[in-house]
């Protein structure tokens, strides 16, 4: 019951809202200016009559806009509103002519000039009022259409954002097993070779995984965090291949705080070790650089391994395809991943994405 009463109260407030008064005042001013050249009485009488007539029409328009809540299907609400405006003009104008007439003199129905003036005002009101109401309805429909279009756009944007987050989370879930399986394969290789480095490497690997795994679930990290994981991974690989792997990391000052998807660079480094350095008889070197040029972050992973033509491709295409999709979801279509042959042998993998769009 309280809810219904509150709803009725809100609708009544909408009818008598100050915007209705403002609309009546504006309309009264416009019509008064139009009638003023032919008006022979006091100006305030004209202004008062126009304001009261316009106000009553506006209130009638608003009342039938809010009440009743439902109308029979055979009649449209706009017809009721326009009709209410037309029906409000005659009684309101008659009442005003009676109340604002001269104190002395014949009654209204006995004063022919006043009756003629009343008739003209009623006719003008009946001609103009419904058209003004129709214009207001058109404006309301247009405003409602714009509001609905904006709401749909916001809702669509929110749904697209949720879909993007879901796809990104799914890809993260796909990357994590890939990383863990590769790491366990490295441990197995160490055990099989019986290397004295096996136990230190295993301890380092456990410490590395303890630090790395919690970061894998994050949607976005920093380049500094990513390079920490890359350095730890390469330290372990260098212990496993002490005479066959060396690496250098060179970050431009200030780039370590820039956003970076977890395991984006690590995926390229893993590929360089697995498909470039490890199969090569003499091993090789991995160089990692990061620089910021024109608002775009460029990260390069260069290895001196077997190269694209000689390296095995098992798992390489899937990992790079997933990485490209993750970059597109995080940074948009301007993010790129390219692979080229390195001069003298090897592969150069380059990641690029706009920093401003990512941090906005």
The answer to whether residue 336 scores a pLDDT higher than 90 is yes
Over 90: is that where the pLDDT of 290 sits?
A: yes
pLDDT at 263: 82
Task: Please state the rounded mean pLDDT for residues 15-43.
Answer: 84
pLDDT (mean) for 239-251: 88
How confident is the model over 255-282, as a mean pLDDT? Answer: 88
- Window from 160-164, 194-198, 235-239 with minimum mean pLDDT: 194-198
Average pLDDT over residues 16-42: 84
Q: Please give the radius of gyration of the chain, using alpha carbons only, rounded to the nearest integer.
A: 39
What is the per-residue pLDDT for 360? 40
Which has more pLDDT, 202 or 78? 78
Task: Specify the residue for token string 């207001």.
Answer: 136
| Residue of higher predicted confidence among 291 and 6 | 291
CA dihedral sign, ordered 206, 207, 209, 213: positive
Res 270: pLDDT: 86
3-state secondary structure 228-250: HHHHHHHHHHHHHCCCCEEEEEE
Residue 6 above 80 pLDDT? no
Burial 70-100 (b: 16+ CB within 10 A, else e): eeeeeeeebebbbebbbebbbebbeebbeee
The whole-number pLDDT of residue 83 equals: 93
Question: Bridge partners of 246?
Answer: 285
Residue-wise DSSP of 84-136? HHHHHHHHHHHHHHHHTS-SSSS-GGG-HHHHHHHHHHHHHHHHHHHHHHHHH
The answer on pLDDT for 319 being more than 70 is yes
- Distance in Å from the first CA to the final CA of the chain: 48
Compute CA distances 4 → 10, 69, 71, whole Å: 10, 11, 18
For residues 357 and 332, give the distance between their C-alpha atoms in angstroms, rounded to a whole number: 9
Q: What separation in angstroms does the CA of 18 have from each of 174, 230, 280?
A: 59, 65, 82
In Å, what is the CA distance from 92 to each residue of 51, 96, 100, 127? 11, 6, 12, 15
Share of the chain above pLDDT 70, in %: 83
Give me the mean pLDDT over the 2-11 stretch.
Answer: 65
What pLDDT does 3 receive?
46
Tokens encoding 278: 């490890």
The beta strand positions in the chain, using DSSP E, are 221-222, 245-251, 259-260, 284-293, 296-303, 336-341, 347-354
pLDDT band at 40 (very low <50, low <70, confident <90, very high): confident
Q: How confident is the model at residue 1 (pLDDT cuts 50, 70, 90)?
A: very low
> Does residue 227 contact residue 260 with C-beta atoms inside 8 Å?
no
14-23, 158-167, 191-200: segment of lowest average pLDDT: 191-200
Task: Give yes or no for residue 357 having a pLDDT over 60.
Answer: no
Instruction: Read off the pLDDT of each residue in 209-217 and give the average, rounded to a whole number.
Output: 67
Spatial distance between the Cα atoms of 150 and 148, rounded to a whole number of angstroms: 5
Question: Up-side HSE of residue 202: CA atoms within 13 Å toward CB?
Answer: 13
């Amino acid at each position: 019951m309280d809810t219904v009463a509150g709803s009725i109260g809100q609708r009544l407030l909408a009818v008598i809202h100050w915007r209705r008064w403002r609309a009546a005042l504006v309309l009264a001013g416009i019509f008064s200016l139009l009638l003023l050249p032919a008006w022979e009485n006091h100006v305030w009488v004209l202004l008062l009559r126009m304001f009261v007539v316009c106000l009553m029409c506006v209130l009638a328009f608003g009342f039938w806009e809010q009440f009743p809540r439902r109308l029979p299907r055979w009649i449209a609400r706009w017809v009721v509103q326009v009709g209410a405006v037309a029906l409000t003009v005659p009684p309101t104008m008659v009442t005003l002519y009676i109340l604002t007439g001269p104190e002395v003199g014949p009654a209204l129905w006995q004063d022919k000039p006043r009756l003629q003036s009343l008739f003209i005002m009623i006719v003008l009101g009946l001609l103009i009022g419904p058209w003004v109401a129709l214009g207001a309805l058109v404006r309301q429909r247009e405003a409602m259409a714009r509001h609905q279009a904006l709401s749909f756009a916001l809702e669509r944007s929110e749904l697209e954002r949720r879909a993007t987050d879901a796809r990104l989370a799914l890809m993260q879930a796909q990357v994590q097993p890939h990383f863990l399986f590769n790491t366990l394969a490295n441990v197995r290789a160490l055990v099989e070779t019986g290397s004295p480095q096996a136990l230190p490497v295993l301890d380092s690997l456990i410490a590395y995984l303890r630090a790395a795994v919690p970061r894998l679930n994050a949607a976005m990290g920093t380049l500094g965090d990513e390079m920490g994981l890359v350095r730890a991974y390469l330290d372990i690989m260098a212990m496993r291949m002490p005479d066959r792997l060396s690496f250098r990391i060179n970050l431009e000052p200030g780039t370590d705080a820039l956003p970076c998807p977890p395991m984006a660079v690590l995926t390229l480094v893993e590929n360089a070790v697995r498909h470039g350095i490890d199969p090569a008889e003499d091993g090789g070197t991995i160089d990692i650089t990061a620089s910021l040029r024109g608002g775009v972050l460029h990260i390069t992973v260069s290895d001196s391994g077997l190269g694209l033509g000689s390296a095995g491709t098992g798992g390489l295409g899937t990992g790079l395809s997933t990485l490209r999709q993750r970059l597109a979801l995080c940074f948009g279509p301007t993010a790129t991943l390219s692979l080229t042959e390195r001069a003298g042998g090897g592969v150069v993998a380059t990641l690029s994405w706009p920093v401003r769009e990512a941090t906005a």
